[in-house]
Amino acid sequence: MDSIRRDVLDFYINLGTKVIDESHDQDTTDLDKCILYIRHSTLNQETSGLQILATGALGGRFDHEAGNLNVLYRYPDTRIVLLSDDCLIQLLPKTHRHEIHIQSSLEGPHCGLIPIGTPSAKTTTSGLQWDLSNTEMRFGGLISTSNLVKEEKITVESDSDLLWTISIKKTGLSIQDHTP
């Protein structure tokens, strides 16, 4: 990781963390490099069930956030969840009918479905305040933001990859409380 602050790097080195210098690769983001490392580290294991929770991937510069959202699209076969202090975001690939089980004590009620890159000619949902029924969504037109979770199970079917975003409830503890 080439964009890490020296004091943060020193903090983790002092903890005994293994540091891998990938600064020669300027064509991928730090998150991209981390995902590749994890995927290569699990080659001998069943990777179809691989799930990754990435903290700190949101809430900074928008170009970095966009790069991290792009990582979700680069690895659609790996469930990657980006977590911020306010929400979590994950990719819902078009190849599946998705059932999202809401943990209402931790997440919601605000949510959204966003088609980035490719418009959706038809998206159908259930369990939301404003369900979609074969609805077209695209940038420059309708996108489902500021929706609300109504049920404990949400279903989503679309002919396009979608980003699912849902608010998380404040517990009084911030991600930043534990990092330098």
pLDDT tens column, 130-152:
999 999 999 999 999 999 999 99
Distances in Å between the Cα of 78 and the Cα atoms of 48, 59, 72, 81, 138 are 7, 22, 8, 10, 24
Based on the fold, state whether residues 60 and 94 are members of the same structural domain.
no
Q: What are the C-alpha distances in Å from 101 to residues 64, 106, 112, 121, 150? A: 29, 12, 15, 25, 12
CA 40 distance to own-chain centroid: 20
Q: How far apart are CA 47 and CA 138, in angstroms?
A: 32
Is residue 133 domain-resident? yes
Q: Among 62, 83, 104, where does a domain finish? A: 83
Domain boundary among 61, 83, 105: 83
Residue carrying structure tokens 């690895």: 75
**What is the predicted pLDDT for the residue at 96?**
86
CA dist 42 and 101 (Å) reads 27
Instruction: Report, as an integer, the average pLDDT of 4-13.
Output: 88
> Does residue 134 come out as left (phi exceeding 0), alpha (psi in the -120 to 50 range) or beta?
left
Residue 72: is it exposed, middle or buried by C-beta count within 10 angstroms (0-12/13-18/19+)? Answer: buried
List the domain range (segments joined by +) for residue 91: 86-169
Same structural domain, 55 and 112: no
Q: Which of 53, 83, 113 is the last residue of a domain?
A: 83
Mean pLDDT of the region 82-105: 94
User: Is 62 in the same domain as 104?
Assistant: no
Q: Name the nearest CA neighbour of 126 among 155, 151, 148.
A: 155
The larger pLDDT score, comparing residue 72 to residue 43, is at 72
Task: Give residue 49's pLDDT.
Answer: 75
Q: Which residue has the higher pLDDT, 31 or 27?
A: 31
One domain for residues 100 and 75: no
76 and 42 share one domain: yes
Closest among 2, 72, 71, 78 to 39, alpha carbons compared = 78
Q: How confident is the model at residue 36 (pLDDT cuts 50, 70, 90)?
A: confident
Residue 30 pLDDT class (50, 70, 90 cuts): confident
